[in-house]
Amino acid sequence: MGMDACPHCAEQSIRFTAKIGADPASPACCPVCQGHSYVANKVSTSISVGIILLACTWSVIAALANSALPLYAIIPSAAWFFYRTWQTARLLPIETETVERHRRARKTVTLLAFLLSFFHVKKSARSGLFYNRQNKDRLIARRPAIR
């Protein structure tokens, strides 16, 4: 795998694997100038949409040909599309203060999601929105009296 050019110093110093995982909250760091850079989110979105379109296209071809052979082309073509799109994606520079702001926002959202997970509403016949006083009275009336 080749190296990519840093948008700060133009040195070929950023690894391909660092480029794939680079976003504003965890950017790729240039070992030469210590500058931070990331890839725009639209690249990840276009990869997802492209892979789905490739899978749909090969599925339609398989259905029209009445054969399963075109389905075997989905994984190699998706891998090629993934690699080629990330290889041509452009790194964008980002300042250290912006990186810290994105990290704080990510931590806040993660903490809120964790706290909200404790307030899961159980939707069963006896609780939540589906429970009312009349159902409770019917349930009590059906029980045999214990003497």
For the residues of the chain, what is the DSSP string, one character each? --EEE-TTT--EEEEHHHHHT-BTTB-EE-TTT--EEEE-HHHHHHHHHHHHHHHHHHHHHHHHHT-SGGGGGHHHHHHHHHHHHHHHPPEEEE-HHHHHHHHHHHHHHHHHHHHHGGGPPP-STTSGGG--HHHHHHHHHHSPPP-
63-122 per-position pLDDT tens digit: 999 888 888 888 898 888 888 888 888 888 988 888 899 889 999 999 998 888 877 655
pLDDT recorded at residue 130:
47
| Per-residue pLDDT at 32 exceeds 70 | yes
Distances (CA, A) of 106 to 29, 90, 99, 109: 19, 23, 11, 5
Q: Hey, what are 107's tokens?
A: 């931590």
Classify residue 119: in a domain, yes or no. Answer: yes
Are 74 and 58 in contact, with CB atoms under 8 Å apart?
Answer: yes
Classify residue 12: in a domain, yes or no. Answer: yes
Containing domain of residue 63, as a range? 3-142
What's the whole-number mean pLDDT along residues 118-127? 58
CA distance 30 to 94: 12
pLDDT recorded at residue 129:
47
Structurally, how many domains does the chain consist of?
Answer: 1
pLDDT recorded at residue 144:
59
Classify residue 89: in a domain, yes or no. Answer: yes
| Per-residue pLDDT at 51 exceeds 70 | yes
| Per-residue pLDDT at 38 exceeds 80 | yes
Burial class (CB in 10 A: 0-12, 13-18, 19+), 27: buried
Of 113, 116, 115, 117, the residue nearest 105 (C-alpha): 113
Classify residue 147: in a domain, yes or no. Answer: no
Classify residue 102: in a domain, yes or no. Answer: yes
pLDDT recorded at residue 109:
92
Classify residue 88: in a domain, yes or no. Answer: yes
pLDDT recorded at residue 145:
57
Classify residue 34: in a domain, yes or no. Answer: yes
Mean pLDDT of all residues belonging to the chain: 81
| Per-residue pLDDT at 141 exceeds 80 | no
Phi, psi of 63 (to 5 degrees): -70, -40
